[in-house]
Amino acid sequence: MPLPFRPGTYAPVLTFFEPKSEALDIETFKRHVSYMAKAGVGPVVTGSMGEGPMLSIDERLQLVKAAREVLDEHKLPFPLIVGTGLTSTKETIALTEQAAAAGADVALVIPAGYYPTLMTRKALKMFFMDVQDASPIPVMIYNFPGASAGVDMDSDLLLELAKEGRNFCGAKLTCAQIGKITRLAGYCDTSEYLKQYPRSFQLRQGQKPFVVFSGFSDYLLAGSAARAHGAIAGIGNFAPRSFRHLYEAAERANESGAKGDVTEARTLQLILSEGDYATTKLHIPGAKRILQDLRGYGGHPRGPIQPIEESLYQASVRLPAVQRLFELEKSLEAKAQPDSTSVGSSSEHLQRTISPIDQSVVVTRHVPSDADVETIIATSQIGFVEWKTTDLEARLAIATRFLKEMETAKADLSEDLSRQMGRPIAHCAVEVEGTIKRGQHMVNIAKEVLGDVTNQDTDSPGYVRFIKRCPVGPVLVISPWNYPYFCQVNAVLPAILAGNSVILKPSPQTPLCGEWFVELYKRAGLPDGVLQTLHSTPDQIERVIKDARIQFVMFTGSVAVGRSIVKALSGTFKNVGLELGGKDPAYVREDADLQKTLPALAAGIFFNAGQSCCSVERVYAHASIYDRVVEGLAHEAKKLKLGNPEDPSVTLGPVVSRRSADFIRKQVAEAVKQGAKMHVSAELFPAAHGNSNFVAPQVLSNVSHAMSIMIDETFGPVVGVMKVDSDEEAIKHMNDSPYGLTASVWTDATKSKQAFEFIVEKLDTGTVYLNNADNLDPALAWSGWKDSGRGISLSKFGFDAFTHTKSVNIKYL
């Protein structure tokens, strides 16, 4: 008894030939049928890609028998569909009977199209009715108006055939309108249809009385909504798992209607539609060449069909759309292997956040597969298309609610921050509160900054000009662990306010901080797809950076990684914002009020264990007050309490990693070996020992620029203090650095105003403080000079990176 024809995904199987003799290569054919079927795609033998017109009847039947052997041997639950048309009625009937005897379950019949003007409605109906009457197996109608000299049947004729022909089991509507699918599938999938028009074949569990299939993967999602039952498409030859994956996602989305399911299905549909369109143009020769590259077999078509032209093939497969399809297929195949150890296998690869406190695992996240990463990018693209049309008032309302949600969740945000990166719990709320204030400032200035720039002063009654600010597209934000909420709001909020979608890659040390942003924005009403988190491998994030759909990359972190990002983007014109390292100097002038200066300066040195890009890492003190500055900073350091950050009384927590702790200790030891003097005894901090992340604070004197401690970024609770005799000497040393993030000057603001202004002009830094440090104001531009970065965040200029300008020039005639 023939196997039932169930809904699903099927593909016209390629036929393979020996290289020289062009004889059938049956073993490769069987291998390919097995590969497709095990991936979830049923075979259609001698279909549109099977080179049927190039085969003898005997060769066709050899292929049918070979496919039957594969399906039976591996117990693969697909009916064997065989193409038997494109000939006269008599020949089609004869071939259908022979195919059935060879093991076919269903005959896919297409009328001959050599005389389309003679294939009238009456002739077409007669042809199909005669074939189905004589066929020993169910018949599927193949309607292909897109073929050369093809014919097209209207929905009335298709419905008549479905009703009157009791041996018809379905129709394949290639290039058909969705309305035709809706009408035919909608009627034939009802109990009324089966009751009035019973089938001549026995229906078994899971079988539909009359299935309606589309002919390209493009139609899967829309076809599913139109009640179609799947598709028969050539893409199943080289991307069977992606094809099946889309079918299942489309069915799930149309059944549940859930936003997440719909978004996933739309994302997959976009990938396959673009990839299918680009590869369909290569047809049989191209499909074989793709298989040769991806699976090691394929070969050439049988003459007179010619192999694919190499230049055309290379140009096509290098298209981003085709590469995304191939990456999706490879990742799905990797995930299907039970013992897969490939990068990106969510079942095998975990991202673990190690506590700086006790080295325990505090957060575990699955690393997404490459297919998951592709879905995230495609979802961001879809999210952008919808979000960019949302008016600014609605964006502002959602952002305002987001900040309120952050206020409500402040305790949880603070606790998670402390647990992941080790900052004293008493200091974590400061970042949450500061994040909210920054966000409020951005919301307050957004209308002015993102509104149209007019030229009313120079316009005339017949001549009007203005500049619009338009979103750039999907944005990638790579956030650090040391101040995750601050750095996330600096980029995420203005990007979303400007109408962009955002993929947020939080540090593996603080993954929850990124997830909190997505959750709070979701509570605020942000549509799905506009903001997503991505926990990924370095290789995956490099591919995301390079992906043409990502329009801007914002990175905060080390100089080394910043350079690698710039390198990854070489050859493109994609913009990137970089907030990198610092070795920020402070200069204490002779007229500074030390009673107020030293506690404030110490806070800029030791807060967050010195783990800030703008922490004060080197101090220059005028010779007349040098000893007092050293002693005063040491006194402030000794007041710190080093310990478990969960203790509210602790003011200094661990540094982020053992590697960081070891580097800091080594840097201090090398400086002492070179002649520096320590002013804080390690005995005051018993928690600080060589086998932990707890590092004692330290103040060093007698230092010089020959020492690493005064040149290389420390990122720890340590500072060197160097003696200078003049403003000019201080400026020289302050500028003697590859970094240029911030600098601070401590002096009498009234008496020494001119001196301060002179120093400001001479310093090579993005920010200069007077009598404060390590303090960002959202109204001021945050930028790094030299190796400290590129671009601007915060202030009204912080929106520029997330917008394009569009000039509108109107002349009234």
Q: In sequence order, what are the beta bridge partners of 621?
A: 588, 723
pLDDT for 338: 47
Q: How far apart are CA 382 and CA 339, in angstroms?
A: 34
Position 519 pLDDT exceeds 90: yes
Q: How far apart are CA 490 and CA 510, in angstroms?
A: 17
pLDDT for 293: 84
Amino acid at 123: A
Q: What integer best gives the mean pLDDT of the chain?
A: 90
733-757 pLDDT, tens digit per residue, is 999 999 999 999 999 999 999 999 9
The residue to which tokens 């569009």 are assigned: 806
Position 49 pLDDT exceeds 90: no
Q: Are 499 and 395 in contact (CB under 8 A)?
A: yes
List all residues 6 or more positions away from 678 whose beta carbon is below 8 Å from its beta carbon: 668, 672, 698, 699, 700
Mean pLDDT is lowest, of 192-206, 642-656, 799-813, for 192-206
Identify which of 524, 277, 509 has the alpha carbon closest to the alpha carbon of residue 407.
Answer: 524
User: In whole angstroms, how far apart are CA 653 and each of 304, 616, 673?
Assistant: 76, 18, 27
Instruction: For the domain made up of 584-783, give the CATH fold.
Output: Aldehyde Dehydrogenase; Chain A, domain 2 (3.40.309)
Identify which of 539, 480, 517 has the alpha carbon closest to the alpha carbon of residue 405.
Answer: 517
Q: In sequence order, what are the beta bridge partners of 467?
A: 453, 807
Q: Are 364 and 351 in contact (CB under 8 A)?
A: yes
3-state secondary structure 327-362: HHHHHHHHHHCCCCCCCCCCCCCEEEEECCCCCCEE
End-to-end Cα, the chain, rounded Å: 77
Identify which of 6, 32, 38 has the alpha carbon closest to the alpha carbon of residue 17.
Answer: 32
pLDDT for 148: 42
DSSP for 166-207, written as a single string: TTEEEEEETT--HHHHHHHHHHHTSHHHHHHS--SS---TT-
Mean pLDDT is lowest, of 87-96, 401-410, 786-795, for 87-96
Q: Are 409 and 520 in contact (CB under 8 A)?
A: yes
Position 343 pLDDT exceeds 70: no
Reported as type and span, the H/E element at residue 159 is helix 155-164
Position 6 pLDDT exceeds 60: yes
Position 81 pLDDT exceeds 80: yes
Position 131 pLDDT exceeds 90: yes
DSSP 269: H
Residue 53: phi, psi to the nearest 5? -60, -20
Position 347 pLDDT exceeds 70: no
How many other CB atoms are there within 10 angstroms of residue 500's CB atom?
26
Q: Are 170 and 107 in contact (CB under 8 A)?
A: no
pLDDT for 303: 85
Q: How far apart are CA 710 and CA 721, in angstroms?
A: 9
pLDDT for 332: 83
132-173 pLDDT, tens digit per residue, is 999 999 999 887 665 444 567 788 888 899 889 989 888 888
3-state secondary structure 579-600: ECCCCEEEEECCCCCHHHHHHH
Q: How far apart are CA 298 and CA 289, in angstroms?
A: 6
pLDDT for 43: 94
pLDDT for 342: 30
Q: How far apart are CA 798 and CA 791, in angstroms?
A: 9
Reported as type and span, the H/E element at residue 454 is strand 453-454
Q: How far apart are CA 662 and CA 275, in angstroms?
A: 50
Higher pLDDT, 805 or 216: 805
424-470 pLDDT, tens digit per residue, is 999 999 999 999 999 999 999 999 999 999 998 888 888 999 999 99
540-599 pLDDT, tens digit per residue, is 999 999 998 999 999 999 999 999 999 999 888 999 999 999 999 999 999 999 999 999
User: In whole angstroms, how far apart are CA 369 and each of 329, 336, 373, 396?
Assistant: 11, 11, 6, 34
Strands 139-143 and 42-45: what pairing? Answer: unpaired
Position 673 pLDDT exceeds 90: yes
Domain ranges, ordered by start, for the chain: 8-336, 375-579, 584-783
pLDDT for 4: 57
Average pLDDT over residues 294-305: 87
pLDDT for 487: 97
Position 341 pLDDT exceeds 50: no
Whether the bond between 304 and the residue before it is cis, its omega within 30 degrees of 0, is yes
Mean pLDDT is lowest, of 214-228, 270-284, 399-413, 696-710, for 214-228
Identify which of 268, 265, 305, 273 has the alpha carbon closest to the alpha carbon of residue 289.
Answer: 305
Higher pLDDT, 184 or 704: 704
Q: Are 356 and 654 in contact (CB under 8 A)?
A: yes
Position 176 pLDDT exceeds 80: no
Name the band, by pLDDT with cuts 50, 70 and 90, for residue 117: low
Residue 683: phi, psi to the nearest 5? -65, -20
Position 116 pLDDT exceeds 80: no
User: What's the CATH number for 8-336?
Assistant: 3.20.20.70
Multiple choice CATH, 375-579, 3.40.228.10, 3.40.605.10, 3.40.50.10880, 3.30.1330.10: 3.40.605.10
Q: Are 307 and 284 in contact (CB under 8 A)?
A: no
Q: Which residues are catalytic?
A: 579
Mean pLDDT is lowest, of 214-223, 230-239, 514-523, 688-697, for 214-223
pLDDT for 147: 45
